[in-house]
Structure 1
Amino acid sequence: MSTTTLTQVGTPVEMPSAPPRRSVVGDTLIVLTRELRPTLHDPFSVVFSLIQPIFFLALFGPLLAGNLGGGLSDGEVWQWFVPAILVMISLFGSTTVGSNLLFEMQTGAHERMLVTPLARSSLLVGRALKEIVTLVAQAVVIVLVMLPFGFRLHPGGALLGLVLLAILGVGISAVSYALALAVRNQDWMFWVVQQTVLFPLMILSGMLLPLDGGPGWMRALARANPLSYVVEAERALFAGDLTAAPVLWGFVAAALTAAVGLAVGIRSMRRGD
Structure 2
Amino acid sequence: MSRAPRRPGPARPAPSSSLSPIPVTDPAGPRTGPRPDHTMTTTAHPAPAPTRIPRLPADTAVVFGRCLRATLRSRTNLLFGMLQPLLFLTFFGPLLTRLDLGADGSPWQTFVPGILVQLALLGGSFVGLGLIVDRNLGVVDRMRATPVAPLALLLGRTLRDVVQLVAQSVLLVLLGFAFGLRAPLPGVLAGLAFVAVLSGALAALSYGLAARLRTPPEFAAVANTGVIPLMLLSGLLLPMSLAPGWLDGLSRAVPFRYTVDAVREVFRGHYAAGTVGLGAAVTLALAALCLAAATRLFTRAGRG
TM-score normalised by length of structure 1 = 0.85
Q: Which residue of 1 aligns with 2:124?
A: 94
Higher alpha-carbon deviation: 209-218 or 148-157? 209-218
Q: Which residue of 2 aligns with 1:198?
A: 227
Q: Which residue of 2 aligns with 1:245?
A: 274
Q: Which residue of 1 aligns with 2:150?
A: 120
Query: How far, CA to CA, are the matches of 1:134 and 1:270 in structure 2?
Result: 25
Letter in 2 for 1:234: V
Higher-Rg structure is: 2
Q: Which residue of 1 aligns with 2:174?
A: 144
- CA RMSD in angstroms, aligned pairs only: 2.4
Q: Which residue of 2 aligns with 1:78?
A: 108
Query: How far, CA to CA, are the matches of 1:24 and 1:96 in structure 2?
Result: 25
State yes or no: 1:59 paired with 2:91.
yes
Correspondent of 1:50 among 82, 85, 109: 82
- Size of the aligned set, in residue pairs, is 255
The secondary structure found in structure 1 opposite 2:263 is helix
**Comparing both structures, which one devotes a greater share of its residues to helix?**
1
Query: How far, CA to CA, are the matches of 2:275 and 2:66 in structure 1?
Result: 36
Give, in angstroms, the shift of residue 42 of structure 1: 4.2
Kept in 1, the 8 Å contact 2:166–2:195? The answer is no
Kept in 2, the 8 Å contact 1:161–1:237? The answer is yes
Q: Which residue of 2 aligns with 1:40?
A: 72
Kept in 2, the 8 Å contact 1:229–1:250? The answer is yes
Kept in 2, the 8 Å contact 1:65–1:72? The answer is no
Correspondent of 1:189 among 211, 218, 238: 218
Give, in angstroms, the shift of residue 168 of structure 1: 1.5
| Structure 2 unpaired stretches of 5+ | 1-47
Correspondent of 2:237 among 201, 208, 212: 208
TM-score normalised by length of structure 2 = 0.77
Q: Which residue of 2 aligns with 1:111?
A: 141
Q: Which residue of 2 aligns with 1:228?
A: 257
Query: How far, CA to CA, are the matches of 1:39 and 1:98 in structure 2?
Result: 14
Kept in 1, the 8 Å contact 2:151–2:299? The answer is no
Letter in 2 for 1:141: L
State yes or no: 1:28 paired with 2:57.
no
Work out the percentage of aligned pairs sharing the same amino acid.
Answer: 40
Kept in 1, the 8 Å contact 2:81–2:123? The answer is no
Structure 2 vs 1, CA of residues 178 and 20 (structure 1 numbering), >3 Å: closer, same or farther?
closer
Correspondent of 1:153 among 167, 183, 191: 183
Structure 2 vs 1, CA of residues 26 and 85 (structure 1 numbering), >3 Å: closer, same or farther?
same
Letter in 2 for 1:240: G
The secondary structure found in structure 2 opposite 1:271 is helix
Kept in 2, the 8 Å contact 1:181–1:269? The answer is yes
Q: Which residue of 1 aligns with 2:200?
A: 170
Structure 2 vs 1, CA of residues 217 and 121 (structure 1 numbering), >3 Å: closer, same or farther?
farther
Q: Which residue of 2 aligns with 1:268?
A: 297
Kept in 1, the 8 Å contact 2:131–2:210? The answer is yes
Structure 2 vs 1, CA of residues 34 and 147 (structure 1 numbering), >3 Å: closer, same or farther?
same
Query: How far, CA to CA, are the matches of 1:57 and 1:216 in structure 2?
Result: 28
The secondary structure found in structure 2 opposite 1:151 is coil
Correspondent of 2:159 among 101, 108, 129: 129
Query: How far, CA to CA, are the matches of 2:242 and 2:188 in structure 1?
Result: 29
Q: Deviations over 1:53-95 (max 9, x none)?
A: 11111222133234435x999x711111111111111112211
| Structure 1 unpaired stretches of 5+ | 1-15
Query: How far, CA to CA, are the matches of 2:240 and 2:197 in structure 1?
Result: 25
Give, in angstroms, the shift of residue 29 of structure 1: 1.3
Give, in angstroms, the shift of residue 19 of structure 1: 7.7
